Amino acid sequence: MRAAAERIAPHVRRTPLLECAELGVVVKAENLQHAGSFKVRGVFNALLSYEELPRGIATFSAGNHGAAVAYATRSVGIPSVVCMPPKAVRAKVDNVRKHGGEVVFTEDLLGTCQTIAAERGYSLLHPFDDLAVIAGQGTVGLEIGDADLVLVPVGGGGLISGIAAALPGVRVVGVEPETANAMTHALRVGWPEPLPEKPVSMADGLTAPFAGEHTLAHVRALVSEVVEVTEQHIRDAWWPLMDATKLLVEPSAAVGLAALREGLVEPGERTVLVLSGGNTALAH
């Protein structure tokens, strides 16, 4: 993971750790990262790990990973195509296009992505279940350093897998929406089975339809627990988080505070909230 940190250092921002006395927490402001989220860390690490850059990258995403892929591939000079759900947040679609990514709307995200990759000779980059991506995301944890508790938003589980691996001995807790609980579902059934119903949440960045084999294994081995918050919990925490920190964040970034406010997690002496992204719109 330290090799990943050295590899991506010229390409990513070391985002600030900001004390927020009003909330009694420290926030890791990944909303200030290139392309608006932590995702560029994993993408750059994956791209820079290839012996030879591929012809292009195909991926699937609700938005933040897609924008990260578009940003990173343009930086290294190769094209990208991002398969997105038809009802993806408009601001996130625009963000992918702004950074040069081609967007393809589809209900079958993985299947369409596999087809495009095969037709064009592109490499398929998984948004979370890829060890190079996980190592890149783990650099967030290396930058956090000392903490008693780290609260991490969970979608497919790439971010929490990396952070937990980077912070042995630290209580790392995942938080996911009750209506988009792919990791909790995978832990319950024992394998990364797709959710029986399509995940929907105002925290759209956390609506992965399934966890990954690698991420499930990491969470089982390294994460203290994963808790679920309701849509109302997220909504009630979102504005107080922005008001207290004066940072623009998306609803996905508010799930950690939601869990604290609802008493689902006992705070530590030094509690860190990972603010996963800031790609949002007034329509939320």
Which residues neighbour 24 within 8 Å (Cβ) at sequence distance 6 or greater? 267, 271
Verdict on whether the full-model pTM lies above 0.95: yes
Cβ atoms within 10 Å of 145's Cβ, excluding its own: 12
Spatial distance between the Cα atoms of 141 and 161, rounded to a whole number of angstroms:
10
- Could you tell me which residues come within 8 angstroms of residue 111 by beta carbon, excluding any fewer than 6 positions away? none
Q: What's the residue count for the chain?
A: 284
3-state secondary structure of 90: helix
Model confidence at 12, pLDDT cuts 50, 70, 90, reads: very high
Which structure tokens are listed for 48? 């820079």
Instruction: Output the six-digit token pair for 186.
Output: 């995978």
Indicate the helix (H) or strand (E) that contains 163. Answer: helix 158-166
pLDDT at residue 144 in the model: 98
Domains of the chain, each with CATH number or no CATH: 2-36+130-275 (3.40.50.1100), 40-124 (3.40.50.1100)
Q: pLDDT tens-digit profile of 234-278?
A: 999 999 999 999 999 999 999 999 999 999 999 999 999 999 999
Specify the DSSP element, H or E, that contains 25.
Answer: strand 25-29
